[in-house]
């Protein structure tokens, strides 16, 4: 997979056309920030500064300094129990305050059942939706939970290691979304072609963030290329940074797919 040192805009093809107009509504989105740290590890920071980490890992290739406990978080969401999605060692504990952990599955182990809930923590609303890690209802790799988060007028869905197209029931439970974080690397999850179909199902209004794909430092899964096949140019930004502030600029393409780098820029320059 090739990463550019500048942002490139690419338009999704037919699979992404016709984005839904029925989305979260409510007040305009606040200035929230999204950071990427490789694999499925994202950190969302709200306008009030609350930090939500999704699926933290300690894959050495994505920690070039050898320091894994470098990412502060107030809340940690774990979509399932596989070790590249549950590593609290990656989270920095500040002032002795441990983060709240929200688990998508009820118990440890690969055959655990979903932990379905809705709860509010501060300015954030969370809910989980049960899906599978494969296309055989979990027989191969077990269950996974989608996390849907509402904050600052945004609805954000982190799909974990989703391995199949969504059913009408699952789509209804997830509901309208502004932002989707979706696996695209195949082998253990959706591949690029399947991920495009899921994006077409969900019809996110604002952003799509690919995840769980192979990179030049981690090749256990396929690169993101298939996700970009047969698309026109204008709705993708391939960035040389690992962070972006979300906006609702009506002048930019929507939804915009954003491929963040897996390291902060200052680390790459060392």
- The domain in which residue 67 lies consists of 14-18+32-268
Question: Could you count the other beta carbons within 10 Å of the beta carbon of residue 217?
Answer: 13
Within-domain flag for 27 = no
With a pLDDT cut of 70, the percent of the chain lying above it is 86
At 144-185, the pLDDT tens digits run: 999 999 999 999 999 999 999 999 999 999 999 999 999 999
Binned at pLDDT 50, 70 and 90, residue 17 comes out as very low
At 80-103, the pLDDT tens digits run: 888 787 899 999 999 889 999 999
Residue 229 pLDDT more than 90? yes
Within-domain flag for 193 = yes
Q: How many CA atoms lie within 13 A of 261 on its CB side?
A: 19
Within-domain flag for 7 = no
Within-domain flag for 120 = yes
Within-domain flag for 160 = yes
Within-domain flag for 263 = yes
Class of residue 19 by CB neighbours under 10 A (exposed 0-12, middle 13-18, buried 19+): middle
With a pLDDT cut of 90, the percent of the chain lying above it is 66
| Distance from chain centroid for Cα 49 | 19
Number of domains in the chain: 1
Q: What is the CATH number of the domain that holds 252?
A: 3.60.15.10
At 26-60, the pLDDT tens digits run: 455 568 999 999 999 999 999 999 999 999 998 88
Within-domain flag for 24 = no
Within-domain flag for 55 = yes
Binned at pLDDT 50, 70 and 90, residue 14 comes out as very low
């Amino acid at each position: 997979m090739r990463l550019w040192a500048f942002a490139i805009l690419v338009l999704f093809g037919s699979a992404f056309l016709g984005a839904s107009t029925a989305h979260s509504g409510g007040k305009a989105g606040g200035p929230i920030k999204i950071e990427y740290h490789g694999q499925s590890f994202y950190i969302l920071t709200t306008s009030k500064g609350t930090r939500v980490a999704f699926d933290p890992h300690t894959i050495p290739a994505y920690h070039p300094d050898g320091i894994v406990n470098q990412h502060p978080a107030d809340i940690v969401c774990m979509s399932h129990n596989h070790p590249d999605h549950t590593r609290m060692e990656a989270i920095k504990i500040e002032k002795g305050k441990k983060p709240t952990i929200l688990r998508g599955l009820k118990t440890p182990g690969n055959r655990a059942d979903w932990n379905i809930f809705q709860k509010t923590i501060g300015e954030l609303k969370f809910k989980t939706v049960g899906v599978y890690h494969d296309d055989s209802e979990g027989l191969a790799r077990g269950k996974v939970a989608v996390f849907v988060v509402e904050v600052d007028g945004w609805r954000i869905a982190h799909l974990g290691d989703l391995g199949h197209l969504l059913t009408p029931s699952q789509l209804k439970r997830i509901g309208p979304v502004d932002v989707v974080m979706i696996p695209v690397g195949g082998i253990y999850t959706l591949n690029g072609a399947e991920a495009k179909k899921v994006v077409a199902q969900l019809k996110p209004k604002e952003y799509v963030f690919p995840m769980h794909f192979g990179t030049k430092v981690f090749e256990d899964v396929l690169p993101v290329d298939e996700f970009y096949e047969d698309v026109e140019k204008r709705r993708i930004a391939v960035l040389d940074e690992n962070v972006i502030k979300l906006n609702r600029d009506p002048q930019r393409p929507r939804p915009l797919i954003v491929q963040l780098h897996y390291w902060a820029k200052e680390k790459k320059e060392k």
